[in-house]
Amino acid sequence: MSYRSLLVRPAALAVAFLAAWSGQAAYAASARTVAVTVDGQRTTVRTHGATVGDALRAAHLAVGTHDLLAPDASTRLTGRTTVVLRRGREMELTVDGQPRTVWVTAMSVNEALDQIGLRTNGALLSADRSRSIPLKGFSLDIRTRKSVQLLDAGKVRRFSTNALTVQQALHDAKVSLHRSDSLSVLRRASVHDGMVIRITRIRGTQVGEDFAIPFATVRKADGSMYTGVTKVMREGRVGVIHRVYNLKYVNGRLARKLLAKPSVRTAAPITEIIAYGTRQRPYSVAGADGLNWGALANCESGGNPRAVSSGGTYRGLYQFTMGTWHSMGGSGDPIDASSGEQTYRAKLLYQQRGRSPWPNCGRYL
């Protein structure tokens, strides 16, 4: 072997080493750091992938059917991408004795109630509103607050109760009944909001009965409230007509019932006044107002605000998923919202993600 060959070999090895090192350095430099927030807990993950789905796989995270992911898994990563994953939780609700199952991405009882649009002012809950909801699911019993009117011996009384049955409601209201008294409804009957319970007090051979006089309802426009919003300015109250009858029993059975004295109106009905909003909601979104939303809606749903896909996943004018609808601030089901609100939520979605939520119909914008 020549002296020259001995000199060339180390040089060739050095070049090969530098090339390998440069390749590894370039691969390492291609990795990017992505912020991932799972149920409010923020972390970072390094990935060589190009999409949100790649970042999730690098973080060993799977997205379930009821989970909420923003942005979509197909979204390409940038230096400013932040991935938010809210995992679905199953809730077994029992509302006034009626069971139902819902899925939420909320992490507390209070947040879950807001997410499903359930009004629980004055309700009794089996768990504290601040109670966290575990991933394995949660059971919650709710007894809503109901307004009841009681007609008793010529007088009307309104009270609120969380009771499920008439007997429980009367017990909570400290109303005592004699054996001879009768109720207009069964004691085991379910209580509902606006219920009227009439008590007939029977004493001897004479009985007094109360009859309800329905109250009228007046609706008044209010320009300070948004359309779709109503407010009871004054609660209605039924009036009462009191009648006294003489009863004649033969062999323990009623044989005759005669009016003993003229009927007396013991309470006049009070008209209920309901204000309804006429102010238009602010549906303007910068950068999205001038687009052809009607054409997009015609392509996605045929312009039907209550359209639902065959599998039930995509809903409304713009075929929202429930998760995307809620992430844009919507409540309940998009098909129950007005066309204006659906368009407003679609504009917010476009402002965040452009046309990508509508890969086929987005071109019409």
pLDDT digits (tens, 9 = 90+) for 74-98: 999 988 899 999 999 999 999 999 9
Tell me the one-letter amino acid at 344: Y
Average pLDDT on 312-317 reads 96
Residue 19 confidence class, pLDDT cut points 50, 70, 90: very low
Average pLDDT on 63-81 reads 91
pTM for the model: 0.53
- pLDDT value at residue 3: 43
- pLDDT value at residue 317: 96
- pLDDT value at residue 9: 54
Instruction: Annotate 312-335 with b (16+ C-beta within 10 A) or e (fewer).
Output: eebbbbbbbebbbbbbbebeebbb
Superfamily of domain 89-143 in the CATH hierarchy:
Beta-grasp domain (3.10.20.30)
Task: Work out the percent of the chain whose per-residue pLDDT is above 70.
Answer: 91
For the cut 70, the answer to whether the pLDDT of residue 141 exceeds it is yes
Instruction: Annotate 107-119 with b (16+ C-beta within 10 A) or e (fewer).
Output: bbbeebbebbebe
- pLDDT value at residue 14: 47
Task: Work out the percent of the chain whose per-residue pLDDT is above 90.
Answer: 71
- pLDDT value at residue 308: 96
- pLDDT value at residue 182: 84
Residue 348 confidence class, pLDDT cut points 50, 70, 90: very high
Domain with CATH 1.10.530.10 in the chain: 293-364
How far is residue 260's CA from residue 243's CA, in Å, rounded to a whole number?
A: 8
CATH of domain 32-86: 3.10.20
**Phi, psi (deg, nearest 5) at residue 26:** -65, -40
Please check whether residue 278 is in contact with residue 255, taking contact to mean a CB–CB distance below 8 angstroms. no
For the cut 70, the answer to whether the pLDDT of residue 185 exceeds it is yes
Q: How far apart are the first and last CA of the chain?
A: 75
- pLDDT value at residue 359: 95
- pLDDT value at residue 309: 95
User: Using one digit for the tens of pLDDT, what is the confidence trace for 84-139?
Assistant: 999 999 999 999 999 999 999 999 999 999 888 888 888 999 999 999 999 998 99
* Among the ranges given (16-20, 170-174, 265-269, 339-343), the one the predictor scored with the smallest mean pLDDT: 16-20
Q: Chain-wide mean pLDDT for the chain?
A: 88
Q: In the CATH scheme, what architecture does the domain 146-279 have?
A: Single Sheet (2.20)
Nearest CA-CA partner of 226 in 279, 170, 149: 279
Domain with CATH 3.10.20.30 in the chain: 89-143
- pLDDT value at residue 153: 76
- pLDDT value at residue 332: 93
* Among the ranges given (10-14, 185-189, 209-213, 314-318), the one the predictor scored with the smallest mean pLDDT: 10-14
* Among the ranges given (110-119, 234-243, 260-269), the one the predictor scored with the smallest mean pLDDT: 110-119
Residue 8 confidence class, pLDDT cut points 50, 70, 90: very low
Residue 10 confidence class, pLDDT cut points 50, 70, 90: low
The CATH number of 293-364, from 1.10.530.10, 3.50.50.60, 1.10.10.10, 3.40.50.2300, is: 1.10.530.10
Average pLDDT on 30-47 reads 90
For the cut 80, the answer to whether the pLDDT of residue 6 exceeds it is no
For the cut 60, the answer to whether the pLDDT of residue 20 exceeds it is no
- pLDDT value at residue 316: 96
What are 99's strand-pairing partners?
94
- pLDDT value at residue 249: 78
For the cut 50, the answer to whether the pLDDT of residue 21 exceeds it is no
Q: At a CB cut-off of 8 Å and minimum separation 6, what does 2 contact? A: none
Tell me the one-letter amino acid at 331: S
- pLDDT value at residue 69: 93
Average pLDDT on 16-44 reads 69
Residue 24 confidence class, pLDDT cut points 50, 70, 90: low
**Phi, psi (deg, nearest 5) at residue 335:** -70, -15
